[in-house]
Amino acid sequence: MADQVEKKAPVRRRKEARPQELTTAALSLFVEKGFAATRLDEVAARAGVSKGTLYLYFDSKEALFLAVIREGIVPIIEEGRKLLVAHADDPVRMLREYLFGWWALFGDTELGGVPKLMTSEAQNFPEVAQYYVREVILPGKALMREVLDRGVAKGVFRQTDSELVTHILMAPLLHLALWRHSFAVCCQVPDMDPNAYLESFFDLVLKGLAATPEGGK
Amino acid sequence: MADQVEKKAPVRRRKEARPQELTTAALSLFVEKGFAATRLDEVAARAGVSKGTLYLYFDSKEALFLAVIREGIVPIIEEGRKLLVAHADDPVRMLREYLFGWWALFGDTELGGVPKLMTSEAQNFPEVAQYYVREVILPGKALMREVLDRGVAKGVFRQTDSELVTHILMAPLLHLALWRHSFAVCCQVPDMDPNAYLESFFDLVLKGLAATPEGGK
Amino acid sequence: MADQVEKKAPVRRRKEARPQELTTAALSLFVEKGFAATRLDEVAARAGVSKGTLYLYFDSKEALFLAVIREGIVPIIEEGRKLLVAHADDPVRMLREYLFGWWALFGDTELGGVPKLMTSEAQNFPEVAQYYVREVILPGKALMREVLDRGVAKGVFRQTDSELVTHILMAPLLHLALWRHSFAVCCQVPDMDPNAYLESFFDLVLKGLAATPEGGK
Amino acid sequence: MADQVEKKAPVRRRKEARPQELTTAALSLFVEKGFAATRLDEVAARAGVSKGTLYLYFDSKEALFLAVIREGIVPIIEEGRKLLVAHADDPVRMLREYLFGWWALFGDTELGGVPKLMTSEAQNFPEVAQYYVREVILPGKALMREVLDRGVAKGVFRQTDSELVTHILMAPLLHLALWRHSFAVCCQVPDMDPNAYLESFFDLVLKGLAATPEGGK
DNA sequence: CATGAATGAGGGTTCATTCAT
DNA sequence: GATGAATGAACCCTCATTCAT
């Protein structure tokens, strides 16, 4: 019986894993070539199945795209939040964790290509873009705003327009991810070490946000 | 005689202007939909010509893409440099001019979509990407580095890793341009005023880069 | 069980037969209209498939052309040789078999259009032409030369420049095939009976090649 | 005044010569590539005029084709006839003149590609083919038949089916011309000397047609 | 479930033909 | 007459989608 279980298990696991194998393959190809330039042949081949099999799991190429975004993104946010609350009393540490955590949990993984993909395709898939904004960008910014607000409350950060500043602070993170999936691949750019980049960024922001000693200049 | 000139002028002017009319149309469509998803029919229609006419000026869709990047980008850099040297003795002013000038001369024009386009297509067109890096990105970063170095020399900015910091400082500018051509179009995001964004960014960077009063903390 | 076999058979047979159905359709159209004037739509339609199906079996129109020549031609030569060796001791009979066999096995079949096709397209497809010369024309001439040489050895044919004479003797055969696929189709030429033509030709050649009674004139 | 005449003459001659310059250019390209694969751009370029100019002289590509055949072919026949009547009393000499004259006056000139062209395109242009058969092939064969008939009348040639034999005798001539414009161009075939070829052919035919010594058997 | 052969609409590209100059 | 820019129909080829097995 144990034998049977073991024999069946991988098969069942396989079947259940199929959609994710497909979205994973699709994600990397969409990121690399863009949605329109990716052929479903390639996606299927990379996932090790035939082209027809794709249609057992997804109604169309667009549905596959939606699934790629849907399944790939959602769980990250929650993990990030957990990471941050661990340092809720230390806004500087929270900021640092945000930046490095964003990179470690997201930018540096295979999901790191999603910002490039979504930026490229937002206009072609407005509903997906809206979904992404609602589920990823806004929560991510809200999380950053919490960090900032907490810092202000603690007297560590100075008062700023947190809406604008969160936007600004996301930019270098996104840039790091976009760069890796665009120019870094095809141009012999002097290797940019993400850690050093993030350290510099963290240093810059910290000083840029630092509360003035006595509220004066 | 004036009559004759006027009769001939429009035709000749058209013929000479054709390539630019076409690249302009192509640029906006490439930015909007991406290279692969743009049909040459549309490009031609937007330029007011037939599909065949495109091939009088460009050998292929890819050649059109190359021309879009080539002709659209180059002259900007030089203009920016001129703008900056006007304030060579005031690094803070130079930085401010860089940020706002970048937006006014580039990001806010029809060329502002190029970063999105090049980011999306860099992997599909490595030679074009290399050209873009060489002619646009590196000169742009070099210009920024000049600003930083001058600030350090004047004792206004503190010492930093200028390679990394230029990269970081470009990110919010690029983000502004990318955002406008991606999520801003399709999502009812609360309008982000570029000027306020740039002011916040400038403020943040200025404090982040400020030389410490007595060199020590 | 027989049922199952019968259900599967036609499908499998079809799939394996597809390439040949396509080359057969292509051959007749290439012969009729020439390579450039033949549309792949027509080829597909004549083979009873859709246009896209063609590309499951051939990479391009040119690859289809190559396949038409490759698969259509080669096996004939060997059959001809077998036919001739049956009469190795009778050069006159060999010559007769060559002429009539050439027509029956080649000229009068659907492959009979190949000489017209290759003659028309040789300059446009030099590699294919070289292949055809090497695999068809030269072996065919070599076979003819064997006939002549054997006739000379047996004292039945007089000595001639066999290189030139083989070339000359091939001409009326080729002409018969070319004529059928060109002027014969569109012009109300008084029907030329191939058999009578070949008889006349055989008669003419036999007398033209006959050894002089006492070796002298 | 003489000056003026000389100045105008070449211009006028030019204008009148235009159509022929165009048909000459078209002929060589049609022969080389076939009708469908020849672009009017090339024809115009080879004739040294612009593409539009072609349409001043010919209504369409097909009209150009018709003109190529029309103007290129007709006058030859009459010249050949004159050549033959000079030896009306010597059928053997007539036959020799026919073969070598055909080659010198036709096959070896720039018109020598016409048989290849007409053979290739006969089915695509039935009216042109009919015209060609009527004006060229049938007169050519009739001329040959005259030679044969005269030989029979003189007791030099034996009786044969002259319809079939003329057809057969034309084949090696046509083959020589077809070969030169097809395989000879692209394949390193051991050079075939037309004169030797024709000598062999003449020799072969002469013996093949020779009247039997005592009219027996 | 899985396959892969088949489809056919659609896009890039060519080129005969037109026409304003 | 001559030009060459412009056109648009038509062709080769691709690829998302379907479906019989």
Judge contact between B205 and B146, C-beta under 8 A.
no
Q: Is residue D145 part of a domain?
A: yes
DSSP string spanning A12-24?
HHHHHHHHHHHHH
The reported pLDDT for the residue numbered C190 is: 67
**How high is the pLDDT of residue B56?**
96
pLDDT above 90: residue C74? no
Torsion sign, CA atoms B187, B189, B195, B200: negative
pLDDT of A52 higher than 70 = yes
User: Tell me, what's the pLDDT at C108?
Assistant: 95
The one-letter code for the residue type at D174 is L
Q: How many helices (H) and strands (E) does chain A have?
A: 11, 0
| Cα–Cα distance list, B141 to A181, B81, C108, D20, D80 (Å) | 19, 12, 76, 64, 82
Residue D216 domain-assigned?
Answer: no
What is d(CA A166, CA A146) in angstroms, rounded to the nearest whole number? 10
CA angle B35, B39, B42 (to 5 degrees): 120
pLDDT averaged over every residue in chain D: 89
Q: Give the pLDDT confidence of A145-189 residue by residue, as tens digits.
A: 999 999 999 999 999 999 999 999 999 999 999 999 999 987 766
- The pLDDT tens digits of the residues spanning A56-101 come to 999 999 999 999 999 887 777 888 888 898 898 999 999 999 999 9
The 3-state DSSP class for residue A215 equals: coil
Other Cβ atoms within 10 Å of A190 Cβ, number: 5
| Position D4 confidence tier, pLDDT thresholds 50, 70, 90 | very low
Query: Cβ A186–B122 below 8 Å, yes or no?
Result: yes
Name residue C77's amino acid. I
**C150: containing domain:** 2-209
Summarised one tens digit per residue, pLDDT across range B29-84 is 999 999 999 999 999 999 999 999 999 999 999 999 999 999 888 778 888 888 89
Average pLDDT on D164-180 reads 97
Give how many domains chain C has, as a whole number.
1
Alpha carbon distance, N-terminus to C-terminus of chain C = 77
Chains A and C touching, counted as 3 or more CB pairs less than 8 Å apart: no
For A91-137, what is each residue's pLDDT tens digit? 999 999 999 999 999 999 999 999 999 999 999 999 999 999 999 99
- Residue A157 in any domain: the answer is yes
Nucleotides of E under 7 A from a protein CB: 1-21
- Name the band, by pLDDT with cuts 50, 70 and 90, for residue A3: very low
**Rg value, chain B, Cα:** 21
Q: What confidence tier does D14 reach under pLDDT thresholds 50, 70, 90? A: low
Confidence of residue B127 (pLDDT cuts 50, 70, 90): very high
Whether any strand F atom is under 7 angstroms from the Cβ of B13: the reply reads: no
CB A135 within 8 A of CB A127: no
Averaged over D121-141, what is the pLDDT?
94
Q: CB-CB: which of C120, C129, C181 is closest to D187?
A: C129
Establish if B202 belongs to a structural domain.
yes
Overall average pLDDT of the D192-217 stretch: 86
Confirm whether B215 is domain-assigned: no
Is B155 part of a structural domain of the chain? yes
- Average the pLDDT over C32-55 and give the result: 96
- Chain centroid offset of residue B215 CA: 37
Q: What is the pLDDT of residue B75?
A: 76
Is residue D217, in this structure, part of any structural domain at all? no
- Cβ contacts of A192 on chain B, cutoff 8 Å: 164, 167
| CATH code for the domain of A80 | 1.10.357.10
Q: In whole angstroms, give the CA distance from residue A198 to residue A102.
A: 10
**pLDDT score for C9:** 40
Residues 22-61 of D with CB under 7 A from strand F: 49-53, 55-57
Cα B212–chain centre separation: 34
Residue A215 lies in a domain: no
DSSP code per residue over D91-133: HHHHHHHHHHHHIIIIITSGGGGHHHHHHHHTTT-HHHHHHHI
Q: How many CA atoms lie within 13 A of D83 on its CB side?
A: 20
Separation between Cα atoms, residue D84 and residue D88, nearest integer Å: 6
* Chain B interface mutation, best of A187, A188, A191, A205, highest count of B Cβ atoms under 10 Å: A187
Confidence of residue A6 (pLDDT cuts 50, 70, 90): very low
What was the pLDDT predicted at C38? 98
pLDDT bucket at D96, cuts 50 / 70 / 90: very high
Q: Greater confidence, C80 or D63?
A: D63
How sure is the predictor about A14, in pLDDT bands with cuts at 50, 70 and 90? Answer: low
The one-letter amino acid at A208 = G
pLDDT at B9 over 50: no
